[in-house]
Amino acid sequence: MHTDRIICTREGAIGRIVFNNPERHNAMSYDMWVAGEAAVRRLAEDGETRVIVLTGAGDKAFVAGADISKFEKERGSAGAIEEYNAAVARFQDTLAAVALPTIAMIGGYAIGGGLAISICCDIRIASDDSRFAIPAAKLGLGYAMPGVAKLMEVVGPAFAKEIFFTARQFDAAEALTMGLVNRVVPRAELRATVDDYTARISENAPLTIRAAKAALTELVKPESQRDGDRVDALVDACFHSEDYQEGRRAFMEKRKPAFQGR
């Protein structure tokens, strides 16, 4: 689905997805969920992207939840609600499962579905004026178990209960204490900090990062459900890659390696 509410670009090895609905604090509509999923897939499959950054347009919000103005049209019946929820789940599942490393660049509000998007990313870097909340208990909404589980995986059960039960907004310092974000930086330094991260990641060996992400994904599953063979195959591929040879040569020659992802 085409919409100008999702902007997907690539600059060198850095893919960027921008939630472009600033007049509504980048609140998500059905077409944005669908286009967002397509954007993640496009970057994951283009063969050039090494890291994906997700951010919101403007300076007020990352994503401030769902676009309530669209509810009557998009969530006005049981069938529409089911279709809408399926689009949300597909986007979040695709983002969480993508093999590339992902960074949420959070400037401002990350509320409800916006917070859910951010915790589907591998790394969250926030400006010091950001705000976080899951206000479901103020709206009477039910929160499906996978979403609860993902939040608990990030912050642990005690903080997950506090977030859900109080439904209040947390500031960036509280979010850092909870482990909800990796870093908090002054607003003026947010883009530069994220750019530093993306530069470091994109210069490192893609196969190594892919294997590490796969291992971490498996390790949070119950032991009986882990696919150790898949991780072993990815690790083995690292040792048989041209990048492994390049890394060793670069170390001996005291130069920066030029990894190709093969």
DSSP code of residue 144: -
Residue 147, token pair as written in the block: 């979403």
CA distances from 100 to 53, 131, 147, 186 (A): 10, 27, 21, 27
- Tokens standing for residue 140: 């009477």
123-127 vs 183-185, strand pairing mode: parallel
Task: Render pLDDT for 137-166 as a digit per residue (tens, 0 to 9).
Answer: 998 888 888 889 999 999 999 999 999 999
Q: What is the CATH number of domain 6-201?
A: 3.90.226.10
The residue type of 221 is K
> pLDDT digits over 169-187, tens only?
999 999 999 999 999 999 9
- How far, in Å, CA of 33 to CA of 108, rounded? 20
What is the per-residue pLDDT for 73? 63
pLDDT digits (tens, 9 = 90+) for 75-97: 556 777 788 889 999 999 999 99
pLDDT at 144: 84
Per-residue pLDDT band at 202 (split at 50, 70, 90)? very high
**Maximum C-alpha span of the chain:** 65
- Closest Cα to residue 182, out of 147, 219, 154, 205? 154
- The confidence score (pLDDT) of residue 134 equals 95
Overall average pLDDT of the 125-136 stretch: 96
Question: What CA–CA distance (Å, rounded) separates 80 from 227?
Answer: 35
Sheet holding 102-106, edge to edge: 6-11, 14-19, 51-56, 102-106, 123-127, 183-185
Among the listed residues 95, 157, 159, 90, the one whose alpha carbon sits nearest the alpha carbon of residue 122: 95
pLDDT in tens, 229-250: 999 999 999 999 999 999 999 9
pTM: 0.93
Exposure string of 10-35, with b = 16+ CB inside 10 Å and e = fewer, is eeebbbbbbbbbbebbbbbbbbbbbb
Q: What does the domain layout of the chain look like in residue ranges?
A: 6-201, 205-253
